[in-house]
Amino acid sequence: MSEIVSLAEKYKDYFKIGAAVNPRSIAKYGDLIKKHFNSLTCENEMKFISVQPERGVFTFDAADTVANFARENGIPMRGHTFVWHGQTPRWIFEDKDSAYEELAKHMETVGGRYADIVYAWDVVNEAANDADGGNIYRERSPWYGLFGESYLKEAFKMAKRILPAGTKLVYNDYNESNPGKRDRIIEMIRRINDEGILVDTVGMQSHWRPGSPSLDMICEAIEKYAAEGLRIHITELDVSMHEWNEAPGTVWDTPERAEEHAKYYGDIFAIFRKYKDHIDSVTLWGVTDGTSWLNGFPVRGRPDKALLFTDDGMPKEAFYRVIDF
């Protein structure tokens, strides 16, 4: 493995190269992670339900395992996430009168515990509507149900007050390069920032597949976000080998598709390099193909090969395209 160039080293003049990790991937691939990545995100372990499943009961073991690995190896982290409709316990939504107070306590406790190691927090995750032509907000979020759109500015105000100065405050979402959703994200951030900047960074999750979004759409999205004065984090990059709505039984693990996959990885990293002045970090959502969340999602039981390393920790063709510049 030693003759293989380090991703983070290769990109040191561009941006951080990150990975989503968990205690299992750290145990199994610790050396690989140390070698290639200079930013880490907890895949699940810092989410609300993971750290405070019941009111006032904090469970930090798994997040601490990751944070201590990061500390021991001097690798900074992204915090993920505070305000989301997913992986958030019901108890916080059951009492509107205490919800903001509980959210602030949560940010103080969790943000404080990892303040030494976390350089950016995904303060709000996935609050924009997926559908064109209606409300810009995700109406089915329980946060929206309780407070309407005001929860967004409130959450960022809280984060700005509570988190250490200099922590990047991120709005994070998927389908971020789709023009309609992109414009809703931009409008949402404008409204949050209308009395002064609270959101300073947009997180482009980047759950993509070869050719989708198109390279033009990605460039246009980056340019539009940058034109708002926002920093950009690519937060959850993976490139599925599957087509959207692929017919069941489709043979997908072919040399042709592997080539499209590798080529797309090469192309998108060329774009990231071109926009390096706006991009602070590019994080892959996992370490190896087999441990990626895309195995079994969105189609139960269906595997995928969405990342840069095989389960033996060997670099794939996509890896070589990413470092080929």
Q: Which residues are catalytic?
A: 126, 236
Q: Does 44 bind ligand XIL (CB under 6 A)?
A: yes
- Whether 79 and 46 have beta carbons less than 8 Å apart is answered as yes
**Per-residue binding letters, 219-238, with ligand XIL (x by CB under 6 A):** -----------------x--
Q: Could you count the other beta carbons within 10 Å of the beta carbon of residue 213? A: 20
Q: Could you count the other beta carbons within 10 Å of the beta carbon of residue 62? A: 18
- Of 38, 65, 125, 167, which one interacts with ligand XIL (CB under 6 A)? 125
User: In the bound complex, which residue of the shown chain has the CB atom lying closest to ligand XIL?
Assistant: 293
In angstroms, the Cα distances linking 144 to 1, 127, 211 are: 48, 9, 33
- What minimum distance in Å lies between the beta carbon of 88 and ligand XIL? 11
Query: What is the distance in angstroms between the CA of the first residue and the CA of the last residue of the chain?
Result: 20
How many angstroms separate the CA atoms of 321 and 181, rounded? 29
Query: Which has the closest alpha carbon to 114: 78, 82, 85?
Result: 78
Query: Which has the closest alpha carbon to 111: 161, 61, 57?
Result: 161
Query: Which has the closest alpha carbon to 48: 40, 38, 58, 39?
Result: 58
> How many binding residues for ligand XIL (CB under 6 A)?
6
**Tokens describing residue 75:** 């690798």
By beta-carbon proximity to ligand XIL, the closer residue of 236 and 280 is: 236
Strands 16-21, 207-208: pairing is unpaired
**Per-residue binding letters, 281-300, with ligand XIL (x by CB under 6 A):** ------------x-------
Q: Does 41 bind ligand XIL (CB under 6 A)?
A: no
- Per CB under 6 A, contacts with ligand XIL among 192-221 are 205
By beta-carbon proximity to ligand XIL, the closer residue of 14 and 156 is: 156
By beta-carbon proximity to ligand XIL, the closer residue of 275 and 293 is: 293
- Whether 203 and 271 have beta carbons less than 8 Å apart is answered as no
- What minimum distance in Å lies between the beta carbon of 10 and ligand XIL? 25
- Per CB under 6 A, contacts with ligand XIL among 61-80 are none
- What minimum distance in Å lies between the beta carbon of 145 and ligand XIL? 20
- Of 8, 11, 17, 43, which one interacts with ligand XIL (CB under 6 A)? 43
Query: Within its chain, how far is the Cα of 229 from the centroid?
Result: 20
How many angstroms separate the CA atoms of 86 and 96, rounded? 18
By beta-carbon proximity to ligand XIL, the closer residue of 177 and 205 is: 205
By beta-carbon proximity to ligand XIL, the closer residue of 44 and 178 is: 44
By beta-carbon proximity to ligand XIL, the closer residue of 43 and 304 is: 43
Q: Does 177 bind ligand XIL (CB under 6 A)?
A: no
- What minimum distance in Å lies between the beta carbon of 236 and ligand XIL? 6
One-letter amino acid at 49 equals: I
How many angstroms separate the CA atoms of 63 and 50, rounded? 8
Which residues of the shown chain bind ligand XIL in the complex (CB under 6 A)?
Answer: 43-44, 125, 205, 236, 293
